[in-house]
């Protein structure tokens, strides 16, 4: 089963995703995609580290998410990926000229093959003003495309605002 948890910055999406992972009654693998490029990001990472259960296994995977899903996907566990948007940012920074449609297809294909429960966290970045600069617009465009593709493949999609979940999709019956 694939779940997508969307929301803005500080909306409560990570907390909600962690609650979903804990309720799964299986071991949890937390895949962290963030990199501490500055002190502000280091503080954000530390905040996430303090708020997740110590018994969870953690893998840092800023770029190689697809391979990790392939390697870990057949284990009886919940896989919490926090977050897809930072993974996309890392991809755009390191490999700006790659075919993002193909990258997203590979991510979806790997996710659909997983027997593990997957919970993706992603930022909804398209609700604000149109950003200045080509690379910023490319990021917003690709993030929107990624969220659409993952939402289409997902069984459940939640939008979090002010810490409250809004169910956008729930196709869990029969799974």
- Residues marked as catalytic: 48
Is the C-alpha dihedral spanning 164, 88, 24, 36 positive or negative? negative
Task: Return the closest-CA partner of residue 146 out of 102, 94, 81.
Answer: 102
| DSSP-derived secondary structure for 3-71 | EEEEE-TTSSHHHHHHHHHHHT-S-EEEEE-----SHHHHHHHHHHHHHS-TTSEEEE-SS-HHHHHHH
Find out whether 70 and 112 touch, Cβ atoms under 8 Å.
no
Tokens read off for 134: 């080509």
- Of 116, 108, 118, 16, the C-alpha closest to 66 is 108
4 and 157 in contact (C-beta within 8 Å)?
A: yes
Distance CA 36, CA 8 (A): 20
């Amino acid at each position: 089963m694939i779940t997508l948890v969307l929301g803005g910055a500080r909306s409560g999406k990570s907390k909600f995703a962690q609650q979903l992972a804990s309720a799964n009654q299986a071991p949890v693998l937390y895949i962290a995609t963030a990199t501490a490029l500055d002190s502000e990001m280091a503080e954000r990472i530390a905040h996430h580290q303090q708020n997740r259960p110590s018994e969870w296994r953690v893998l840092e995977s800023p770029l190689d998410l697809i391979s990790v899903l392939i390697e870990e996907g057949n284990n009886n566990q919940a896989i919490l990926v926090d977050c897809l948007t930072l993974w996309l940012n890392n991809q755009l920074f390191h490999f700006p000229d790659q075919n993002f449609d193909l990258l997203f297809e590979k991510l979806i294909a790997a996710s659909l093959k997983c027997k593990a429960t997957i919970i993706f966290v992603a930022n909804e970045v398209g609700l604000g003003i149109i950003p200045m600069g080509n690379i910023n617009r490319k990021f917003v465009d690709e993030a929107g495309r990624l969220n659409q593709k993952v939402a289409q493949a997902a069984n459940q999609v939640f939008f979090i605002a002010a810490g409250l979940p809004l169910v956008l999709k729930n196709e869990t019956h029969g799974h």
